[in-house]
Amino acid sequence: MTSPENAPASRGPVVWYAALAVVMLLGVVAVVAARSSSNTVSNKVATAQTSKVKTGSSSKALPQLMDGKADAAIGQIIPAVSGKTLDGDAITIGPDGTSKVVVFVAHWCPHCQAEVPKIVGHLKDSPMPVGVKLLTVSTNVVKERGNYPPKAWLDRVGWTAPVMADSTDNAAATAYGLTSFPYFVVADAEGKVVTRVTGEISMDTFDQLVKAAETGKAPS
Amino acid sequence: MDTETVTLFLALLAVMAQVAVVSAVVLVVGGRFSPSVRVVGQRVVAEIGPQALGLAAVVALVCMSGSLYFSQVAHFLPCRLCWYQRVAMYPLVVILGVSAITRFHRIRPFAAVLAGLGACVSIFHILVERYPNLETSSCDPANPCSLIWVEKFGYLTIPTMALSGFALILVLLAVARPAAQPLAQEAP
């Protein structure tokens, strides 16, 4: 232990100058690195990640799915929403005579980022049955929130179901009563809501949702 | 200066904070086994100790400025856990700043408790980012705590930067000590 008499005298300003020099050096590094990366990385997005969504004139919006309460949307006809896919093709999700599972996802949501690859893997072993459609809505698109653009993310994880691009004001999600992601709406062939689920689900639950769409009966 | 540049700058500062914290741990642990490392540690404490309160105040100020930049300029909405970390960090700017100016070293344990609580919240926030199911199984469209606004070098998120700041403040509080007083001359 150094005795007080032998302790080196503190060179106060030197410590501050050193700290300031390090901070300035890091500032220069940040400016140079950010400039060079912006020159090499293209942020160009080929197709629009949001699209105008039109709700059918006779459609009635579903009530919001509330935790711990009976789902008031059961038996109600799903609204018809029309817009464009992430590839730019026309798409309509609504009562069209086929049973369907509609999945709402947000590109920045970690639960969606976990759920989508699980479903992709599951569908390789257990494809959707004939007569039940799996449709997707990419909603709540916010570039600053990361994992953008949603098309790049969904392509990367191998998602092959059609994906509707929701509008900037999330019209499709609002029409379907979304309160959180990921969000599953199951409708039978008549377009009636059989069940709705929000949050990450197991693949057993996913199979039950598909079965519910097929039979028109909510899972017990 | 754009958000990307500022974020990278803050991330680099966080890395430097981590390097400083790891160096301090190495000096403390190494000093127990090696006399030469112990001497180095003593020299570092002697150099930095008298300035440590001021340096800790500057670290807190940089952390506060960074968080205000993210929310007010880059428009990254602070989540609930972000606010708890702010509650711990922002008062440190004033507490440590005033203490550094007035050389009030007795503030150290109180400031350390505040920084320690902030560090605990940061650790929980980092875990929520990596394991979102710790909090909920779904994403609130408004602003979930599991949302990763920025990620640099594959691991540096905003709460990781905050944890780096809290950890460095704790290290500086540990080494802070008044400047060695010149010995009083003996009376003739």
CB within 8 Å: A181 and B2: no
What is the residue range of A172's domain?
54-215
What is the per-residue pLDDT across A148-166, written as a single tens digit (0 to 9) for each?
899 999 999 999 999 999 9
Query: Among candidates A89, A107, A95, A59, which has minimal Cα distance to A164?
Result: A89
Reading chain B (188 residues) residue by residue, the pLDDT tens digits are 788 899 999 999 999 999 999 999 999 999 999 999 999 999 999 989 999 999 999 999 999 999 999 999 999 999 999 999 999 999 999 999 999 999 999 999 999 999 999 999 999 999 999 999 898 889 988 889 999 999 999 999 999 999 999 999 999 999 998 876 554 444 44
Nearest Cβ partner for A109 among B2, B6, B139 = B139
Q: Is B132 on the interface with A (CB under 8 A)?
A: yes
Here the ipTM equals: 0.77
Half-sphere exposure of B25 (CA within 13 A, CB side): 9
Domain-located, residue A159: yes
Domain count, chain A: 1
Domain-located, residue A36: no
CA distance B131 to B44: 38
What is the interface size between A and B, counted as CB pairs within 8 Å?
115
CB within 8 Å: A12 and B138: no
Nearest Cβ partner for B43 among A8, A34, A170 = A8
- Provide the 3-class DSSP secondary structure of residue A128: coil
Domain-located, residue A188: yes
CB within 8 Å: B51 and A15: yes
Beta strands A81-84 and A54-55, pairing class:
antiparallel
Which residue's entry shows tokens 């220069």?
A: A28
**Terminal-to-terminal C-alpha distance of chain B:** 64
CA distance A124 to A185: 22
CA distance A210 to A191: 14
Nearest Cβ partner for B132 among A5, A35, A111 = A111
Q: Which residues share a beta bridge with A135? A: A102
- Provide the 3-class DSSP secondary structure of residue B164: helix
All structural domains of chain B with their residue ranges? 3-175
Domain-located, residue A197: yes
CATH no. for residue A140? 3.40.30.10
